[in-house]
């Protein structure tokens, strides 16, 4: 089971050939990432059951909290105004939202692939 290579390449957890996402999304154009239903190479169904990706939201939440914590720690020594820090943290939150969405789903399908 190779989780990290599949996370970086976005490939199917079963055959490691087919793409999981048809589009990475673009936050500036408000285009959300789009997933394939099945692997184009082996036919592996990514959403194993209804609500399967609900758990990926928890992964995404954890990633977001970590990223914002790191951002806060880095910014507090450079920026004195707390509202500026909050505004920058909000920008980071928005900019990384689609990245977190994709990585959380890839982690989730790779974690529970047999």
Binding site for Zn ion (CB under 5 A): 12, 14-15, 18, 39, 41-42, 44
3-state class percentages of the chain: helix first, strand second, coil last, to nearest 5: 50, 10, 40
Whichever of 41 and 97 has its CB closer to Zn ion, that residue is: 41
Whichever of 42 and 82 has its CB closer to Zn ion, that residue is: 42
Whichever of 41 and 64 has its CB closer to Zn ion, that residue is: 41
In the complex, the smallest distance separating the C-beta of residue 92 from Zn ion, rounded to whole angstroms, is 33
CB-based burial, 62-94: b 16+ in 10 Å, e otherwise? ebbeebeeebbeebeeeeeeeeebeebbeebee
In the complex, the smallest distance separating the C-beta of residue 57 from Zn ion, rounded to whole angstroms, is 24
Given a contact cutoff of 8 angstroms between Cβ atoms, the answer to whether 19 and 11 are in contact is yes
Backbone angles phi, psi at 34, to 5 degrees: -120, 135
Whichever of 18 and 33 has its CB closer to Zn ion, that residue is: 18
In the complex, the smallest distance separating the C-beta of residue 16 from Zn ion, rounded to whole angstroms, is 7
Here the tokens at position 89 are 């943290």
In the complex, the smallest distance separating the C-beta of residue 59 from Zn ion, rounded to whole angstroms, is 21
């Amino acid at each position: 089971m190779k989780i990290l290579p599949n996370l970086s390449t976005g490939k199917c957890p079963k055959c490691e050939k087919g793409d999981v996402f048809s589009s990475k999304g673009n936050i500036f154009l408000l285009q959300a990432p789009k997933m394939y239903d099945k692997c184009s190479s082996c036919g592996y169904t990514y959403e194993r059951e209804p609500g399967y990706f609900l758990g990926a939201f928890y992964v995404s939440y954890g990633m977001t909290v970590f990223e914002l914590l790191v951002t806060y720690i880095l910014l507090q020594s450079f920026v004195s105004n707390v509202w500026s820090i909050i505004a920058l943290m909000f920008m980071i939150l928005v900019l990384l939202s689609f990245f977190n969405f994709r990585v959380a789903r890839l982690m989730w399908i790779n974690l529970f692939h047999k």
